[in-house]
Amino acid sequence: MSEQTLSNLLKEDRRFEPPTDLAADANLKEEAYARAAEDREAFWAEQAERLDWTQKWDQVLDWSNPPFAQWYVGGKLNAAYNCVDRHVEAGRGDKVAIHWVGEPVDDKRSITYAELQAEVSQAANTLTELGVGTGDRVAIYMPMIPEAVVTMLACARIGAPHTVVFGGFSSDALASRLVDCGAKVVVTADGGYRRGAPSALKPAVDEARAKAAERDGHTVEKVLVVQRTGGEVAWDDDVDVWWHESVAKASPEHQWEAFDAEHPLYVMYTSGTTGKPKGILHTTGGYLTGCAYTHWAVFDLKPETDVYWCTADIGWVTGHSYIVYGPLANGATQVLYEGTPDAPEKGRWWQIIEEYGVTIFYTAPTAIRSFMKQGREIPDARDLSSLRVLGSVGEPINPEAYVWYREVVGGGRTPVVDTWWQTETGSIMISPLPGVTHGKPGSAMIPIPGVSADVVTEEGESVPNGSGGYLVLTEPWPSMLRTIWGDDQRYKDTYWSRYAQQGWYFAGDGAKKDDDGDLWVLGRVDDVMNVSGHRLSTTEIESALVSHPKVAEAAVVGAQDPDTGQAVCAFVILRDEFIAEADDAGEGSDIVEELRNHVRKEIGAIAKPRQIMIVPELPKTRSGKIMRRLLRDVAEHREVGDVTTLADSTVMDLISGRLTSGK
Ligand code: 6R9
C-alpha cells in the first residue's frame, strides 16, 4: 500500500460515541473482549447455551484434523425447533415472528410464532411425503414470500440440507446448482412481483430441470409450487405439486428429531471471481450459535421491544443468517419485504419503517448510495425516529455514505455497525458493538469477542498500525464453513493454502490497520490495483469520487496499460441534477476533468483516473456487489463476459451503448 493511499484514509477523524442509554443497557459490554480472549472455548460454549440442545456436547472444538473443524462434538439439536417451537413452548406463541410486506401495496400479513410452527410442520410433512429424507438436498428458488422461510425451516426440521438459489438467477445457473448438490426436490413459486409487475419463476425451473437431466443425467423428482401471482404455468402431473393442495392440507403436527451438531444445514453457492460457483457448506450447531450470538450482540437485540428489518434477499447468505436463522433463533419480531426499495414509490422503505416502527435496520452500502442520489427529502418525509441501530454489510461503506446514513436515516442518534463477514464465515466477524465501540466512518473496527483476525504481509508478518496487507482469521470459529460441497481439495486450496504454515484462514480481502489499530476492509484482493508499482485500492478511489458533490456512485477498475501496468478506469453515475450537464457536454467534458482532478486532490496524482466514463447504471449482483470483472472487460475493450449473476442483465447493454454513442 503506498504511503499516499494510507495517509488519505487515515485522515478520517470523525468519531461518534455510543449513545449513553444504549451503552448503559448494552447486551455485550467491553469486558467480553478480554473474557473471550482469555478462554475462547469457554466463551463459545457460553454462546452455544443460547440454543436448546437435546444432548449437550462433549467437546467444544475438535481441531485435530485442520482445516476440517468440528464444533460442539457429540451435541444434538434441531435448528427449526430452536427457531420456532421453543418460543411457542415458552409462551410466546402469539408474538409476531414476521411482518410480511408484499410488493403490491396492502398485500401484507403478520405471522406469529405459533402460526409459523404450524406452517413449518405442514411443509415438513409434505416434504417427507414427497420422498425427502434426512440428508437429501432440497433446492429453493423463490421470491421473498413467507413460504420461502417456511421451506428453509421445514428442511432444517427434517435434516434435509437446503440450497437457496436467488430468484433472479437464470435457468442455467439454477441447473448447475441442482446438479452440483444433487437436489432431489425443488420448491418454487409460479412467479413473484417486481416493480409492480408479476414475473414468472416456474418456467426457469422447468428449463433447469430439463437441462440437468439432458446435460448431466440428474433427475429432480418433484417440484413443489407456491401460487403467488396466479399466472399460467406449464404443468407436469408426474412431477409438479401445488403448495396449496399439499402443504396447506397437511397436518400441522410434526414430530421433529434432533440431529448431530455437525449435520449439514445448508449449501450456499457463491461465485468465485471466475469459474464454477463454490457450494459453501454450513452445519447445524456451530452455525446457529454464530448467528444467534452475533445477531444479539452486534445489533444489541432486545427481543421484547425491537422490530428488526434486514433488507437482504434470502438468496444470499445475509438472508440466511440475518433473516432466518439469527433473528428467529433469538425470537425476534422482524419485517420481511418482497419488493424493491423504490416501487411503487421512491420512499417505500421509509414508509415501511414508519408503519412498523422498525428499530434495527440492516442494509447494504449500494442501497444507501442510491438513496443519497435521490436526495434527503425522500427519507425526511417520513418519521424514522423509531430507529436505534443501523447496520451495513456487503462491501466497504464509503465514509460519506456512512455519515449520510447516520445523519439522514438515523437522525444523528443511531450507531452504524459496519459488519464484515462472508458466506464462508457464516456470521459477522468484524464489527463495532453499538453500545461499546465508537463509530469511525469507513472502518469495521475490530473483531467481535470470540473472533481472532489480523492483517498480515505476504510472508505472514502482522503489519504495524498504519499499514495494509491481507485479512486473515487466525483461529477457527463455530459458524465457519466446513468444506466446499463435494470438493475438500478446493476448500483447502482456496482458503487454507496461502498461510498453511500458520494455519490461518485467508479471506481474500485486502485490509489495513489505522493508527489506532482499527481495521479498514478495502475489498477483494483482486480489486487491488497496481499502478506503476503502487498498490491502490479500488474502494478508496471510489470513495474519493463519491465524496464529490456531483457523484452518486462510482466503480473503479484497473485496466491493463502498456506504460503503468494497470491504469485506473472509473465508471461514474452522476447525481440526478447533474446528469443533464454531462449529457450536453459529452465525454471529455469539464465534469470528467473536474472529477479526475478531484481524485488527484483527494488521494494524489498516482490515483488520478486515466479514464472516467459517465454511465447510467453499474453492473451489480443481486447482493449489491459491483461486478468489476465486467467493467474491466469494457475498459480493456474485450467482449463482455458471463452476465448470468447480474441482478439486471441489461445494464451492460446500457453501458456499452453509452460508450459507443460517445457519451
Ligand atoms: C456477507 C457478505 C463477502 C465479501 C467479503 C468482502 C465484502 C462484506 C463487508 C465487505 C467491506 C464490509 N464485504 N462485508 N467489505 N466491509 N462490511 O457480503 O458475504 O456475499 O460472501 O461477500 O464481501 O469483500 O469478502 P459475501
Q: Ligand 1 atom 26: the closest Cα is on which residue?
A: 422
The CATH homologous superfamily for domain 532-661 is ANL, C-terminal domain (3.30.300.30)
Atom of ligand 1 nearest to the CA of 521: 11
Tell me the CA–centroid distance for residue 219 and ligand 1, in Å: 34
Residue 393 CB–ligand 1 contact under 6 Å: yes
Tell me the CA–centroid distance for residue 273 and ligand 1, in Å: 13
Residue 252 has pLDDT above 80, yes or no: yes
- Residue of 287, 417, 521, 540 best suited for mutating to test ligand 1, as the one with most atoms within 8 Å of CB: 521
- The DSSP bridge pattern shows strands 259-260 and 76-77 to be antiparallel
Residue 166 has pLDDT above 80, yes or no: yes
pLDDT tens column, 54-103? 999 999 999 999 999 999 999 999 999 999 999 999 999 999 999 999 99
Atom of ligand 1 nearest to the CA of 522: 11
Residue 513 has pLDDT above 50, yes or no: yes
Phi, psi of 130 (to 5 degrees): -80, 0
The band of 414, judged by pLDDT with boundaries at 50, 70 and 90, is very high
On whether the CB atoms of residues 139 and 181 are closer than 8 A, the answer is: yes
Phi, psi of 620 (to 5 degrees): -130, 150
Tell me the CA–centroid distance for residue 422 and ligand 1, in Å: 5
Residue 183 CB–ligand 1 contact under 6 Å: no
Q: Ligand 1 atom 17: the closest Cα is on which residue?
A: 420
On whether the CB atoms of residues 439 and 50 are closer than 8 A, the answer is: no
Residue 169 CB–ligand 1 contact under 6 Å: no
On whether the CB atoms of residues 162 and 140 are closer than 8 A, the answer is: yes
Tell me the CA–centroid distance for residue 446 and ligand 1, in Å: 15
The band of 652, judged by pLDDT with boundaries at 50, 70 and 90, is confident
**What is the end-to-end Cα distance of the chain in Å, rounded?**
34
pLDDT tens column, 415-438? 999 999 999 999 999 999 999 999
On whether the CB atoms of residues 9 and 520 are closer than 8 A, the answer is: yes
* C-beta atoms surrounding 237 within 10 Å: 6
Residue 155 CB–ligand 1 contact under 6 Å: no
What does the CA dihedral 89, 93, 98, 100 come to, rounded to 10 degrees? Answer: 140
Tell me the CA–centroid distance for residue 364 and ligand 1, in Å: 10
- The H or E element that residue 127 is part of is helix 113-129
In angstroms, the CA 632 to CA 274 distance is 13
Mean per-residue pLDDT over the chain, rounded: 91
Of the candidates 479, 483, 109, 157, the one whose C-alpha atom is nearest the C-alpha of residue 295 is 479
* All cell numbers assigned to 255: 414430530
Residue 426 CB–ligand 1 contact under 6 Å: no
Q: Ligand 1 atom 16: the closest Cα is on which residue?
A: 396
Residue 527 CB–ligand 1 contact under 6 Å: no
Phi, psi of 441 (to 5 degrees): -55, 120
pLDDT tens column, 353-404? 999 999 999 999 888 988 998 899 999 999 999 999 999 998 888 899 999 9
Tell me the CA–centroid distance for residue 420 and ligand 1, in Å: 6
Residue 174, SS3 per DSSP: helix
pLDDT at 273: 46
pLDDT tens column, 201-213? 999 999 999 999 9
Q: 449-463, 480-494, 606-620: lowest mean pLDDT where?
A: 606-620
List the Cα angle 262/43/456 in 5-degree steps. 85
pLDDT at 4: 42
Residue 527, SS3 per DSSP: helix
What does the CA dihedral 411, 417, 423, 426 come to, rounded to 10 degrees? Answer: -120
In angstroms, the CA 531 to CA 310 distance is 38
Tell me the CA–centroid distance for residue 394 and ligand 1, in Å: 4
Q: Stretch 554-583: mean pLDDT, rounded?
A: 85
Q: Ligand 1 atom 8: the closest Cα is on which residue?
A: 394
pLDDT at 5: 44
420 marked as binding residue: yes
Judged on CB neighbours under 10 Å (0-12, 13-18, 19+), 234 is exposed
Q: Ligand 1 atom 1: the closest Cα is on which residue?
A: 422
pLDDT at 272: 54
Residue 623 CB–ligand 1 contact under 6 Å: yes
Of the candidates 580, 660, 659, 565, the one whose C-alpha atom is nearest the C-alpha of residue 612 is 659
Please state the domain extents for the chain: 532-661
In angstroms, the CA 494 to CA 426 distance is 16
Residue 588 has pLDDT above 60, yes or no: no
| Cis omega (within 30 of 0) for bond into 549 | no
The band of 13, judged by pLDDT with boundaries at 50, 70 and 90, is confident
The gap from C-alpha 549 to its chain's centroid, in whole angstroms, comes to 28
532 marked as binding residue: yes
Q: Ligand 1 atom 4: the closest Cα is on which residue?
A: 422
CA atoms in the 13 A half-sphere facing the CB of 335: 29
Residue 288 CB–ligand 1 contact under 6 Å: no
The band of 535, judged by pLDDT with boundaries at 50, 70 and 90, is low
pLDDT at 271: 65
Residue 3 has pLDDT above 60, yes or no: no
* Number of separate helices (H) and strands (E) present in the chain: 24, 30
- Residue of 311, 484, 509 best suited for mutating to test ligand 1, as the one with most atoms within 8 Å of CB: 509
Residue 418 CB–ligand 1 contact under 6 Å: yes
Residue 444 CB–ligand 1 contact under 6 Å: yes
Query: pTM for this structure?
Result: 0.86
In angstroms, the CA 652 to CA 128 distance is 43
Q: 325 to each of 149, 286, 291, 400, 430, how far by Cα in Å?
A: 10, 12, 6, 32, 19
pLDDT at 464: 96
551 marked as binding residue: yes
Q: Ligand 1 atom 11: the closest Cα is on which residue?
A: 396
Q: Stretch 326-338: mean pLDDT, rounded?
A: 98
The band of 222, judged by pLDDT with boundaries at 50, 70 and 90, is very high
396 marked as binding residue: yes
